[in-house]
Amino acid sequence: MRGDRLESRNEPLWKPVPSDRSFQSDDGRFGLTIGRSELKKILRYSLAAGRLETGGILVGHYSQHHDVAFVGDVSGPPRDSKSGVTWFHRGIQGLQTWLNGLWSKDSYYLGEWHFHPGGRPAASGIDLRQIKEISEAPAYLCPEPLLIIVGGTMPASWEVAAYVSPRNCSLVELKQMDGSRTEVGRSAPIRPGSKVSSLPARTEKQKTGP
Ligand SMILES: [Zn+2]
């Protein structure tokens, strides 16, 4: 297709080359899958942000047993977002309208992503606190929000990490899997989130490095 050729000609030289990624908690209770094109979208937003942090939200759906979240799309930074070298405040402009439209397609708010320019994709203390706040905020209807962090220098050297923040629990890092995984049923399914009347903003502010 003509569009594909155009895209590949303008495609930055990502290292590593983006591929479909699956992550899972050690106990198999939480899984996350993000496709190559959604991951590439995150990388493109990060590249565009230069030396500043950026971020957005993850939307998608859950597996039948509610143990794997599939990221179907990601947003860029809403227009009212603000960012610095080591901080990011994710705005809300336009997100609710987008989410309302997705609701009818069984796609929900799954969590957040952001970029640590020049840093590792390790969750900071502030990342931890804020994703926990989202898990506890009634407006999000999302008791187990996911967090994807990309870090590094775009496009030449990047890394990605994934986390889940179950309500009333500490942050759980999801390990990257090779190949496919088998679903493990859970007795307490995740409630789909995202039908929210007003999506609160998310602020990240770090005093030292990302
Ligand atoms: Zn962070």
Q: Which CATH number fits domain 23-179: 3.40.140.10, 3.30.499.10, 3.40.190.10, 3.40.50.300?
A: 3.40.140.10
- To which residue do tokens 């502010």 refer? 205
Distance between CA atoms of 105 and 95, rounded to whole angstroms? 16
Torsion sign over Cα 28, 29, 35, 38: negative
Is 144 labeled as catalytic in the residue annotation?
A: no
Ligand 1 centroid to residue 115 C-alpha, Å = 7
Ligand 1 centroid to residue 126 C-alpha, Å = 7
Residue 19 has pLDDT above 90, yes or no: yes
> In this structure, which residues have their CB less than 5 angstroms from ion ligand 1?
124, 127
Ligand 1 centroid to residue 104 C-alpha, Å = 31
Distance between CA atoms of 118 and 153, rounded to whole angstroms? 5
Write down the pLDDT at residue 140: 87
User: What residues contact 181, with CB distance under 8 A and at least 6 apart?
Assistant: 22, 24, 31, 68
Torsion sign over Cα 28, 30, 158, 12: positive
Ligand 1 centroid to residue 128 C-alpha, Å = 8
Residue 125 has pLDDT above 80, yes or no: yes
Binning pLDDT at 50, 70 and 90, where does residue 180 land? very low
Ligand 1 centroid to residue 2 C-alpha, Å = 37
Residue type, 100: N
Mean pLDDT to the nearest integer, 186-210: 48
Ligand 1 centroid to residue 17 C-alpha, Å = 23
pLDDT in tens, 49-86: 999 999 999 999 999 988 999 999 999 999 999 999 99
Distance between CA atoms of 167 and 27, rounded to whole angstroms? 17
Model pTM score: 0.84
Binning pLDDT at 50, 70 and 90, where does residue 103 land? confident
Residue 3 has pLDDT above 70, yes or no: no
Which carries the bigger pLDDT value, residue 184 or residue 10? 10
Write down the pLDDT at residue 139: 87
Cα angle for residues 93, 95, 100 (degrees, 5° grid): 135
Ligand 1 centroid to residue 127 C-alpha, Å = 5
Write down the pLDDT at residue 56: 98
3-state secondary structure of 109: strand
Residue 172 has pLDDT above 60, yes or no: yes
Q: Token digits for 13?
A: 């030289």
Write down the pLDDT at residue 178: 76
User: Are the C-beta atoms of 126 and 205 separated by less than 8 Å?
Assistant: yes
Ligand 1 centroid to residue 1 C-alpha, Å = 37
Catalytic residue among 38, 53, 112, 204: 53
As a dihedral over the C-alpha atoms of residue 132, residue 70, residue 138, residue 128, rounded to 10 degrees, the angle is 10
Average pLDDT of the chain to the nearest whole number: 85
